[in-house]
């Protein structure tokens, strides 16, 4: 049986194809104007990588913002459930999943069996999401993936106090005008981001083991800052943390077609 | 300097709707026709009239709402005084003195359900005249409506819930100063003893208010009229107690919107025959559904306790969505008085005033959810009593940004609920009267997620 999960988020679309316990392919693309198109394009690329066609997929579960618009998905399940399921499948000892996506952030608590116990989402603004880092990278004039490594070389990280991304950008612009070292600026940015995520995590409580999923999990600066603030060492995932929702979708798809009893 | 008045025609439109409803048999076809003919009020019609079982109580409720706004519009023409008062105060005493009550929270809630974009522009209006964005939107919406000249100007201010919260109380002071009208404050003592010094003190304060009202109206409190109002209030309390009992059933036969209709009726018109008619209709519908074994559609997936508020800024969709998704609204903060049948003694003027004072002091945000002087554990104790009695599966907090009192204690309350009642909880950051804080679609998705994945597993 071949199953798939398709996660159409706010900034990227992800697809995972599985056969049994094996991940055959995983793909990530930037989103298209319409979720249907994003889903088709990302799935097409994943299928190509796995040398399959859509007809070979026995069951597909969609997730993410665009989950109800995916024509080839037979069911849709929320991102919270999918991220929890994906992370727990990879690391069964996980109890807290911190998912920092492009435009939202979730902290999910699961029990030993992987069942959801509690969750919290930011629902207000871009601070504490990938979009915040994107805006800041542009302001600093560096690539998104450079911010993390730059931040690790800081000597005197700046303090960014604004809760709002736009005002935080204004603060960074002011620091640039004062010719503050860009490593210190990068560290200030990753710390500010981690602070937002931390305050959300504290509201549902953090129990180890902890994993970080979503695109921001790839930012070493944010991860290190968050680990320090939460006083935990996060578990490293063996697959791209950004495809965790799609992986969870594929796992749910596998359950759907598993023989009953 | 005051800004130019914001115009609007909600009271007139509501009155026209009520007139149309009264002139028809309110069949399904006619109701749908009205929704098309009156698009500005279509959510109001959909919420209270579209579904036949809701309609039986919805019609008298809309009539009551229409009367409330019409009275407000006609008060001065009829030689009556208008009192700007607090929602958490049974207005029977005001009706006994022929005073027309106006509560900003009632206005905000009615308009939030009935008008496209609710009271956003009125909330913004108050910001424009210098009130803080962090003050209660339930108050600010209604205050904006009043100050923008959409209603008659109040003649006096009564603050009977001085314990509820600082900014809430300060609004009464502000209204008095801003409109240059007299102000009466009832002090609620910072301790709780049902039969001791506290209630004596509050009864004394209540009588001070009665003297103030007599002075403002130039009328003496008439014993027979007071008794009529108290008798009506008593009947309403009896219906409330009966409806509460019906709610214990599984599935719960009381539609979600009936909660709003019950507390709104009490806040608007306690002590009037029209309010009794609404309560009676709610009871009859719930009783009929109970006998038929009908519950929340399509099945009672979860029995949810909203520990503070519902979500008003959705054109009524909040309550419809709960019912249609099998989420049974078992309790909410604004009906915390429901399980406390406070008997009114109609023997003498003194017993009636004592009873009304006692009832006022048992209202939510006077008894529970007070400021730093809260009676320890009062909110939790009442919620826990109801939660156990009504067999709730989870607790959800929806509030307003301005409610410092609940934000200050919500985490502790929810932790206690989880530990002592063993049910999951969800705290949502939203504003019941301002959808711009967190859109309803986001809240709905989170509630659905919580119920489907954490509560029902």
Q: pLDDT tens digits, residue range B210-264?
A: 999 999 999 999 999 999 999 999 999 999 999 999 999 999 999 999 999 999 9
User: How far off is chain A from B123, nearest CA to CA, in Å?
Assistant: 19
At A256, which CATH number? 3.30.420.40
User: How far off is chain B from A118, nearest CA to CA, in Å?
Assistant: 6
Contact (CB<8Å) A123/B438: yes
Residue B163 confidence (pLDDT) above 70: no
For B394, nearest residue in chain A (alpha carbons)? A118
Contact (CB<8Å) B453/A124: no
Q: What is the mean pLDDT of residues B171-199?
A: 85
**CA neighbor of B171 nearest in space, from B136, B206, B134, B199:** B136
Total domains in the fold of chain A: 2
B271-300 pLDDT, tens digit per residue, is: 999 999 999 999 999 999 999 988 876 778
Instruction: Sort out which chain A residues have CB atoms less than 8 A from B422's CB and list them.
Output: none
Give residue B9's pLDDT: 62
Give residue B24's pLDDT: 63
Give residue B2's pLDDT: 43
Contact (CB<8Å) A81/B429: no
| CA–CA separation, A230 and A199 (whole Å) | 10
A118 shares its domain with A8:
no
Contact (CB<8Å) A117/B454: yes
Token digits of residue B21 = 């409803």
A145 shares its domain with A228:
yes
Question: Domains of chain B, with CATH numbers?
Answer: 224-341+348-455 (3.40.50.11900)
Residue B189 confidence (pLDDT) above 80: no
Give residue B192's pLDDT: 66
| H helix or E strand, kind and range, residue B108 | helix B104-114
ipTM given for this complex: 0.76
- Confidence class for position B6, pLDDT limits 50, 70, 90: very low
Q: What is the mean pLDDT of residues B348-375?
A: 80
Helix B137-147, helix B166-179: angle, nearest 10: 10
Determine contact, residues B114/B134, Cβ cutoff 8 Å.
no
Can you say how many angstroms the Cα of residue B301 is from the centroid of all Cα atoms in its chain? Answer: 26
Q: Which long-range contacts (CB under 8 A, 24 or more apart) does B259-264 make?
A: B259/B310, B259/B319, B259/B329, B259/B332, B259/B334, B259/B335, B260/B109, B260/B310, B260/B319, B261/B48, B261/B57, B261/B58, B261/B61, B262/B335, B262/B338, B263/B334, B263/B335, B264/B61, B264/B65, B264/B106, B264/B109, B264/B110
State yes or no: cis peptide before B251, omega within 30 of 0.
yes
Return mean pLDDT, chain B.
87
Question: Which site among A65, A75, A80, A199 would you substitute to test the B interface, given the most B Cβ atoms closer than 10 Å to its Cβ?
Answer: A80
Give residue B343's pLDDT: 83
Determine contact, residues A239/A122, Cβ cutoff 8 Å.
no
A87 shares its domain with A121:
no
A109 shares its domain with A211:
yes
A214 shares its domain with A250:
no
A191 shares its domain with A116:
yes
Give residue A198's pLDDT: 92
Instruction: Sort out which chain B residues have CB atoms less than 8 A from A119's CB and list them.
Output: 449-450, 453-454
Question: Which site among A119, A122, A164, A199 would you substitute to test the B interface, given the most B Cβ atoms closer than 10 Å to its Cβ?
Answer: A119
Contact (CB<8Å) A123/B424: no
pTM of the predicted protein model: 0.87
Contact (CB<8Å) B449/A203: no
| CA–CA separation, A224 and A229 (whole Å) | 9
Contact (CB<8Å) A123/B429: yes
| CA–CA separation, B221 and A168 (whole Å) | 61
A97 shares its domain with A223:
yes
A161 shares its domain with A245:
no
Interface of B with A (CB under 8 A): 411, 424, 427, 429, 437-438, 442, 445-446, 449-450, 452-454, 457
Contact (CB<8Å) A80/B457: no
A138 shares its domain with A212:
yes
Contact (CB<8Å) A116/B429: no
Give residue B194's pLDDT: 66
Expressed as residue numbers, the domain containing A127 is 93-236
Instruction: Sort out which chain A residues have CB atoms less than 8 A from B449's CB and list them.
Output: 78, 80-81, 119
Contact (CB<8Å) A121/B446: yes
Give residue B352's pLDDT: 94
B144-161 pLDDT, tens digit per residue, is: 999 998 889 999 999 976
User: How far off is chain B from A152, nearest CA to CA, in Å?
Assistant: 34
A167 shares its domain with A86:
no
Residue B326 confidence (pLDDT) above 70: yes
Helix A220-230, helix A182-204: angle, nearest 10: 50
- Confidence class for position B20, pLDDT limits 50, 70, 90: low
Only one residue has tokens 């998905």, namely A73
A167 shares its domain with A219:
yes
Give residue A149's pLDDT: 92
Give residue B162's pLDDT: 67
pLDDT tens, position by position, for chain A (261 residues)?
999 999 998 889 999 999 999 999 999 999 999 999 999 999 999 999 999 999 999 999 999 988 888 899 999 998 899 999 999 999 999 999 999 988 888 999 999 998 888 998 876 676 678 888 888 899 989 998 998 999 999 999 988 887 777 888 888 888 898 898 999 999 999 998 898 899 889 988 999 999 999 888 999 999 999 999 999 999 999 999 999 999 999 999 999 988 765
Instruction: Sort out which chain A residues have CB atoms less than 8 A from B442's CB and list them.
Output: 123
Contact (CB<8Å) B449/A124: no
Residue B174 confidence (pLDDT) above 50: yes
Contact (CB<8Å) A116/B453: yes
Instruction: Sort out which chain B residues have CB atoms less than 8 A from A118's CB and list them.
Output: 424, 454
Q: How many CB pairs under 8 A join A and B?
A: 31
A214 shares its domain with A100:
yes
């Amino acid at each position: 049986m071949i199953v798939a999960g398709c996660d159409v988020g706010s900034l990227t679309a992800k697809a995972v194809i599985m056969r049994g316990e094996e991940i055959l392919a995983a793909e990530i693309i930037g989103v298209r104007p319409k979720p249907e198109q994003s889903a088709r394009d990302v799935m097409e690329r994943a299928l190509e990588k796995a040398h399959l066609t859509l007809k070979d997929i026995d069951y597909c579960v969609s997730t993410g913002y665009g989950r109800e618009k995916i024509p080839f998905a037979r069911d849709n399940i929320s991102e919270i459930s999918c991220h929890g399921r994906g992370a727990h499948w990879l690391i069964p000892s996980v109890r807290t999943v911190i998912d920092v996506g492009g435009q939202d952030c979730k902290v999910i608590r699961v029990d030993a069996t992987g069942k959801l116990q509690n969750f919290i989402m930011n629902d207000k603004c871009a601070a504490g999401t990938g979009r915040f880092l994107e805006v800041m990278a542009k302001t600093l004039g560096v690539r998104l993936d450079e911010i993390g490594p730059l931040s690790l070389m800081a000597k005197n990280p700046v303090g960014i106090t604004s809760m709002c991304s736009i005002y935080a950008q204004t603060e960074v612009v002011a620091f640039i005008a004062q010719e503050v070292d860009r490593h210190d600026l990068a560290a200030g940015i990753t710390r500010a981001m981690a602070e937002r995520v931390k305050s959300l995590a504290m509201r549902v409580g953090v129990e180890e083991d902890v994993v970080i999923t979503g695109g921001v999990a790839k930012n070493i600066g944010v991860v290190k800052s968050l680990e320090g603030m939460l006083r935990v060492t996060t578990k490293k995932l063996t697959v791209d943390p950004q495809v965790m929702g799609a992986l969870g979708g594929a796992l749910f798809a596998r359950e759907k077609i598993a023989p009953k009893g | 300097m005051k800004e130019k008045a914001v115009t609007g025609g909600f009271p007139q439109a509501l009155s026209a709707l009520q007139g149309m409803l009264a002139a028809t048999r309110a069949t399904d076809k006619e109701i749908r026709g009205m929704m098309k003919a009156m698009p500005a009020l279509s959510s109001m019609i959909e919420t209270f009239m579209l579904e036949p079982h809701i309609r039986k109580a919805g019609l008298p409720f809309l009539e009551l709402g229409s009367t409330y706004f019409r009275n407000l519009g006609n008060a001065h023409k009829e030689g009556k005084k208008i009192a700007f008062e607090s929602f958490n105060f049974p207005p029977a005493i005001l009706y006994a003195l022929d005073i027309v009550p106006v509560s900003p929270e009632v206005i905000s809630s009615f308009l939030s359900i009935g008008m496209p974009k609710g009271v956003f522009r009125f909330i913004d209006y108050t910001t424009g005249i210098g009130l803080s964005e962090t003050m209660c939107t339930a108050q600010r919406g209604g205050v904006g409506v009043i100050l923008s000249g959409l209603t008659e100007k109040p003649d006096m201010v009564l603050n009977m819930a001085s314990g509820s919260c600082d900014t809430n109380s300060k609004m009464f002071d502000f209204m008095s100063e801003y409109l240059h009208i007299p102000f009466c404050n009832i002090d609620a003592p910072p301790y709780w003893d049902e039969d001791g010094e506290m209630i004596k003190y509050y009864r004394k304060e209540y009588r001070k208010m009665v003297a103030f009202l007599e002075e403002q109206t130039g009328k003496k409190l008439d014993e027979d009229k007071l008794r009529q109002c108290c008798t009506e209030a008593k009947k309403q309390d009896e219906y409330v107690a009966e409806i509460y009992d019906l709610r214990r059933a599984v599935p719960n036969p009381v539609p979600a919107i009936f909660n709003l209709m019950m507390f709104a009726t009490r806040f608007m018109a306690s002590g009037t025959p029209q309010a009794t008619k609404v309560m009676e209709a709610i009871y009859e519908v719930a009783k009929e559904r109970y006998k038929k074994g009908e519950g929340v559609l399509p099945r009672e997936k979860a029995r949810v306790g909203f520990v503070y508020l519902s979500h008003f800024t959705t054109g009524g969709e909040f309550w419809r969505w709960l019912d249609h998704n099998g989420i049974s609204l078992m309790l909410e903060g604004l009906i915390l008085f429901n399980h406390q049948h406070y008997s009114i003694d109609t023997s003498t003027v003194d017993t009636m005033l004592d009873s009304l004072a006692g009832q006022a002091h048992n209202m939510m945000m006077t008894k529970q959810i007070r400021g730093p002087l809260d009676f320890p554990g009062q909110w939790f104790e009442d919620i826990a009593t109801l939660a156990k009695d009504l067999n709730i599966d989870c607790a959800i907090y929806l509030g307003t940004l301005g409610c410092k009192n609940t934000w200050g204690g919500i985490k502790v309350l929810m932790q206690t609920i989880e530990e002592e009642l063993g049910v999951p909880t969800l705290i949502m950051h939203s504003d019941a009267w301002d959808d711009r804080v967190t859109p309803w679609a986001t809240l709905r998705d989170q509630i659905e997620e919580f119920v489907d994945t954490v509560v029902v597993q």
